Amino acid sequence: MRRSQDGVATSPKAWRHGAACVIAHFRLIPKASKDAVDGLIDTTDGPVFQARVRALPEDGAANKALEDLVARWLDVPKRSVSLATGGKSRLKSLRIDGDPAALDRMLQERADDFSR
């Protein structure tokens, strides 16, 4: 647990604010039966969203499928979601361009949906 500026304990998030964007962290499972964001999981690097895509991990197809999935999941334009790090890793960081405060609220709503 982290402490906010007012001393209240806060849980780490699977995303962080960047310059005019949010960087969201995902663990990707390619060659799945469907495209979906399944929830939040803990890793040694902190919490990440668990995502599955049908695409094969060849020639960047799974990465592109993840970008498209996240754009649909957050209802943002496809052009605003891009791979930031993790091109050949299961753990990926996606840059989501837009208003960081609005994106933070959307991601928090999606994260809260998993805990219901």
CA torsion angle for 67, 77, 74, 44 (degrees, to 10)? 30
Indicate the pLDDT class of residue 114, thresholds 50, 70 and 90: confident
For 81-91, how does the pLDDT look when each residue is reduced to its tens digit (9 = 90+)? 999 999 999 99
Sequence-distant (≥ 6) Cβ neighbours of residue 87 within 8 angstroms: 60, 63
Q: What is the pLDDT of residues 40-79, one digit of tens each?
A: 999 998 999 999 999 999 999 999 999 999 999 999 999 9
The pTM is what?
0.89
Task: Return the higher-pLDDT residue of 1 and 67.
Answer: 67
Q: Which residues have CB under 8 Å from 48's CB, separation 6+?
A: 14, 25, 26, 27, 40, 41, 42, 91
Number of helices followed by number of strands (H, E) in the chain? 2, 8
Work out whether strand 46-52 and strand 36-43 pair parallel, antiparallel, or are unpaired. Answer: antiparallel
Are 113 and 36 within 8 A, CB to CB?
no
What CA–CA distances, in Å, run from 14 to 31, 33, 51, 59? 23, 24, 13, 26
Tell me the CATH architecture of domain 23-114: 2-Layer Sandwich (3.30)
- Give dist(CA 59, CA 97) in Å, integer: 24
